Structure 1
Amino acid sequence: MHAIKWILLFATLIGFVPAASTQSLPTIKVAFNVPGDEAKLLMRAHPEYFPAIGRDYQINWMQLQGTATVSQALIAGTADCGVNAPLTLAQAITGAGLKPILIGAIIGESPQSFTSYWAVKEDSPIRTVKDLKGKTVAVNTIGSQLDAFTRIWLKQNGLDPKHDVNIAEVPFPLSEAALRQGRVDAIVLVQPFATRAEKTGGLRKLGALRDVQPNLLNLVEACRQDFVDAHPKVAAQYARDFAAASKRFSQDHAASIALLSDILKMPKPALESFMFTSHDYQRYPDGAVDVQVVQKSFDLFYDNGLLAKKLDANAYIRPGISLVAHQDSK
């Protein structure tokens, strides 16, 4: 008995934490996507940069494909927090009663950054959006935010996306080949695939996402409200670590490119050709959400029949937890 007491005392003095103590820490089930979810990819690869992970809480990481799948996991309660597009989040709220709290911003688009765009082959007879009537446009996933913006773009240019155009589902890595081989007539180009296609040449831009919404959040981080209510201190610390990861990723360019090169299995020069340049997405070094930008997306989706009711983005902000940008004129 005395020997056991001395062992425990020695373990305390040297800072040893028994496995049982680690197991008793609050756990956040966090869903992430690859690529795009960069701050969280850094947190997952290098938890040693964030002392609270493993000390105050632990993370159970789960990789899911697409933001719609993450929204479904949040609805089901199999994930506590995860990456969302404003559209999939809004549809989960209006369609399934999800109650989320916005934590932070991941990537977006602005007039100063790269913007996703629709492209056709250089020698295509398609010169304007209206020429897509009777043609096939590829999107990454039916029901995704890019699919929604494609339909809004078509509608704004006088086409009925349900009857005038065939919208096909083609994953990003395969869409360029589908276009060049003539299996589709137009595609949506996002990074890093846009830079690769531009280097090869032979394609022409037909329209850009900023024509639909100039300032846009592509990806946001959100947690279930019931999780935040039950663990407010843990949620606040997770938000602080998310902000720190966003800052570190944005500042240490070489390390960040090396990390993504390893995860995506892409050569560093391919990533260096656009990352942290004017041809990169809008990044948020503080990880903060611009609520006005989210509200404009919510309004756009509602006005185009993609949401059953209007939403107030401010309803999903929790003071002391949500990372919120200073709201200026947008």
Structure 2
Amino acid sequence: MKKLLTALALSAATVAPVFADEIPILRVGWMIPAEEAKYLMLKRPELFPDLGKKYKIEWSQFKGTSPMMQALRAGALDCSTMAPLSMAQAYLESGLESYIVAQHAHEETGYFSPYWAVKKDSPIKTAQDLRGKIVGTNAYGSGMYYQMILWLKQNGLDYKKDVKIVETGFPPSADAIRTGRVDTGPLVQPFALLAEEKGDLRPLFTLSEVQSPTVYSFEGCSKAYGDKNPEVVRLYVKDLQRAMTMLLEDRKLAVEVTAEVTRAPAAMLDKYLFTNKDFTHIATMKPDIDAIQQLLTLQSNAGFLAKPVDVSEFVREDIMAPLN
């Protein structure tokens, strides 16, 4: 009997950690900017009762959506931030199948839209004035890069012949315009706000001229993971919605956690974050499937995609926001 009790005790001691390890782990990729719901989950996990109990998150930071698509394809991530074009290109070029599950940031009338600026006293007033000029972009191949090209094409310019495009990145873009390295360059928050306060630059065009509303980023999960673990994805999406609701109800909290993650001054973030000077945020985080389809159709017609993409192939409604 003693031997049996000892064996049972040892068995219980060894089984307990196994049960703990059976809490499913979701590997999530994130980046800066415009992922405030994730920032809150990352920095304040205690606000989410299911997180750590019903599922766990293993967070990994990336510099953009393209490398996250590669990580999803390699099986190193389960969910990550996506942009319409990066999702479609990953599907067409490498066969990555995924589901759109929640929307992070979009633009609509009355809210901030990324724009290309010129010097305040620049003679450049219209698209035609850009012929022979140098145009900056955040990064070759990014979603904003292709939207800029769409704007050029819509205004009758050949982006390969009529202008020269160079990379500036977002932080150095304003200085690149001021010093003449580029004639026009892209501004997003908070760099747009800083430039506006200085007053030496002015907008030339906004991406809302290409399409409005425009979806800039959303959360996606690999189809393989979503089909195998739909309940884990549902828990995650519900927590994203919970996070966004909290942030919309308490803008001070949004500024606080964003400052912690980005290390940007809270006073600066407070000037635009979750106001009409920022991207649009909605508590439901419901993806605008029609807007995503419209943008991909524009990009396909422009030759940026090898063939048309049907966004309905990336939808599984039982794991997509809004979820009750």
TM-score range (shorter-chain normalised) is over 0.9
Would the aligned equivalents of 1:291 and 1:324 in 2 still touch at CA under 8 Å? no
Please state how far the C-alpha of 1:21 moved relative to its aligned partner. Answer: 3.3
The residue aligned with 1:328 is: none
Find the partner of 1:128 among 126, 141, 144. Answer: 126
What residue number does 1:102 align with? Answer: 100
CA offsets per residue over residues 90-145 of structure 1, 9 Å max, x none?
11111211110111000010012111111100121212111111211111110000
TM-score normalized by the length of structure 1: 0.91
How far does residue 7 in structure 1 lie from its aligned partner after superposition? 11
Which among 40, 44, 68 is matched to residue 66 of structure 2?
Answer: 68
Give the equivalent residue in structure 2 for 1:211: 209
Matches within 5 A, 1:40-59: 40-59=38-57
Distance in 2 between the 1:200 and 1:96 partners? 45
Q: Greater CA deviation, 19-28 or 208-217?
A: 19-28
- The answer for the alignment partner of 1:236 in structure 2 is 234
Query: Which segments of structure 1 move beyond 6 Å, counting only runs of 4 or more?
Result: 3-9
Instruction: State the Cα deviation string for residues 184-240 of structure 1 (Å, max 9, x = none).
Output: 111111111111110111111111111100101100100000001111111111111
Q: How does 1:10-21 map to 2 (within 5 A)?
A: 19-21=17-19
Secondary structure in 2 matching 1:173: coil
Structure 1 letter corresponding to 2:211: Q
Of the candidates 307, 311, 314, which is equivalent to residue 313 of structure 1?
Answer: 311
Q: Does structure 1 conserve the Cα–Cα contact (< 8 Å) formed by 2:226 and 2:233?
A: yes
Could you list the runs of 5+ residues in structure 1 that have no partner in the other structure?
12-16, 326-330
Report the equivalent of 1:246: 244
Give 2:298's aligned amino acid. Answer: L
Q: Given the two structures, how large is their TM-score scaled by the length of structure 2?
A: 0.93
Pair 1:223 & 2:200 matched: no
Deviation track 1:278-321 (CA, whole Å, cap 9, x = no partner) reads 21111121111011111111111111111112122122111211
Task: Choose which of 266, 290, 293 in structure 1 pairs with 2:291.
Answer: 293
AA aligned to 1:32 is W
Find the aligned partners of 2:266 and 2:7 in 1 and give their Cα distance: 53
The equivalent of 1:183 in structure 2 is 181
- Calculate the aligned-residue CA RMSD, in Å: 2.0
- Label 1:103 to 1:179 Cα distance change in 2 as closer, same or farther (>3 A): same
Q: Separation in 2 of the partners of 1:285 and 1:240?
A: 11
Gaps of 5+ in 2: none
Deviations 1:242-266 (A, max 9, x none): 1111212222100110111122222
Match of 1:26 among 24, 35, 46: 24
* TM-superposed deviation, 1:18: 5.3
1:27–1:59: 8 Å Cα contact kept in structure 2? yes
Instruction: Work out whether residues 132 and 163 of structure 2, in 8 Å CA contact, stay in contact via their aligned partners in 1.
Output: yes
**Kindly, what percent of the aligned residue pairs are identical?**
37
CA distance in structure 2 between the aligned counterparts of 1:39 and 1:261, rounded to whole angstroms: 13
SS of residue matched to 1:207: strand
Match of 1:87 in 2: 85
Per-residue deviation, 1:26:
1.3
